[in-house]
Amino acid sequence: MHFASDNTAGVAPAIMAALSAANAGHVASYGADAQSKAVVTRLREIFEAPEAAVYLVPTGTAANALSCAALTQPWGAIFCHRNAHIEEDECGAPEFYTGGSKLVLVDGADAKMDPQALRRTIAHTGRGGIHNVQRGMVSITNATEAGAIYTPEEVAALCAVAQEFKLPVHMDGARFANALVSAGCTPAEMTWKAGIEALSFGGTKNGCMGVEAVILFDPKRAWEFELRRKRGGHLFSKHRFLAAQMAGYLEGDLWLDLARHANAMAAKLSAGISAVPGAHLLHPTQANEVFAAFPRSAHRQLHAAGAAYYLWPFDQSLEGEASEPLSARMVTSWATTEEEIATFLSHLK
Ligand SMILES: Cc1ncc(COP(=O)(O)O)c(C=O)c1O
Ligand SMILES: C[C@@H](O)[C@H](N)C(=O)O
């Protein structure tokens, strides 16, 4: 019963096979090889963005932090949700790689920024002139850190607010595939057609070993991004092995199939939990993460049975009154099985 994170899943077999197939002979390094160039072409096709600049990096944190550095100045504010990964889980990487940008937090249900709250927060920022951080950029996460998604219309509404202040918008798409198949739109509709300027396109959580693509839909910042990637230590010399993963991931729309499976397993788990007396969902299950509360006694039973998942927030204790509800996050992946779901639910009573 492995629900701690999609980061704990292995590599999808077809992607491991693509890695192995790439391990032949000598090829150009640092992204100059044919497969690296082919991946750029393929991603431009998928996003209907023939002029986009595309760069592979090894982690989502690198993709996010380098994207922020490309979109804002050190004195710029990065407007994001208060539970955004760039705020809560990247150890200050965005602040570090931007040279000191300040993350300015915005509220909204289900870790989705509310457009009115965003407008108020941006308007409030920088009014003091030289004495304040300036308005820099906006970053949104899709699927969100609460397992919800933004529809293309919701993305467009936030981008329209950002555009009122002439701010670029980044999307943390560590779980982009999960959001996309849930929304049922095209990659272009979810991104540049809605106003997104830079996308962290996730592969790692959805079956790759470790690869993310930064897609700059306006290539004007391309060369600066390349310099920042190299200077940040994120330009792989044996780049073919990042490209091989991404090529295998995109081959035959495998990336969409993997996300559909993860989402379907989360929907199954979510429906099962909802049917248990004393259990309830904390956020809508719209991608591959389930947030729910249920009695401490059930958590004890699940932990005793070996279930792997996080109490959420982490610092809740299994010690205490048995009937008290504790909240938890369960994450499904391409590797989740129906048997795992059934076993988990059998212990939730
Ligand atoms: C929403 C989100 N963005 C970014 C990341 C960062 O990815 P990484 O841990 O590969 O740096 C994660 C990690 O799981 C994440 O959940
Ligand atoms: C750090 C932790 O939040 C990780 N990003 C996950 O979603 O599992």
* Amino acid 279: pLDDT: 96
Expressed in angstroms and rounded, the spacing between residue 205 Cα and the centre of ligand 1 is 8
Does the model's pTM come out above 0.95?
Answer: yes
* Residue 140 near residue 79 (C-beta atoms within 8 A): no
Q: What type of residue sits at position 89?
A: D
Q: What is the pLDDT of residues 249-283, one digit of tens each?
A: 999 999 999 999 999 999 999 999 999 999 999 99
Fold of 13-253: Aspartate Aminotransferase; domain 2 (3.40.640)
Which alpha helices (DSSP H) does 23-73 contain, by range?
34-46, 60-71
Q: Distance from the CA of 61 to the center of ligand 1, in angstroms?
A: 6
Instruction: Give nearest CA residue, ligand 2 atom 6.
Output: 5
Is pLDDT of 349 > 80? no
Ligand nearest to the CA of 331: 2
% the chain with pLDDT above 70: 100
* pLDDT for position 128: 81
* pLDDT over threshold 80, residue 42: yes
Which sequence spans correspond to the domains of the chain? 13-253, 255-347
Give the pLDDT of residue 255: 98
**Pocket flag, ligand 1, residue 204 (CB < 6 Å):** yes
pLDDT in tens, 274-322: 999 999 999 999 999 999 999 999 999 999 999 999 999 999 999 999 9
Stretch 21-36: mean pLDDT, rounded?
Answer: 98
Asked if the model's pLDDT at residue 217 lies above 80, the reply is: yes
Q: What number of residues does the chain have? A: 349
CA of 314 to the centre of ligand 2 (A): 12
Ligand minimally distant from the alpha carbon of residue 141:
1
The average pLDDT across 47-55 equals 98
The alpha carbon of 10 and the centre of ligand 2 are apart by a number of angstroms equal to: 15
Residue matched to tokens 């998928």: 46
Ligand nearest to the Cα of 8, by number: 2
**CATH architecture observed for domain 255-347:** Alpha-Beta Complex (3.90)
Residue of the CA atom closest to atom 7 of ligand 1: 60
CA-proximal residue: ligand 2, atom 2 (nearest): 89
Model pLDDT for residues 91-125, shown as the tens digit of each residue: 999 999 999 999 999 999 999 999 999 999 999 99
Strand ranges of the sheet holding 102-106, from the earlier edge strand across to the other edge: 53-57, 212-216, 198-202, 169-173, 134-141, 76-81, 102-106
CA distances to 43, 177, 178, 244 from 21, rounded to whole Å, are: 20, 24, 27, 8
Q: What is the largest CA-CA distance in the chain?
A: 62
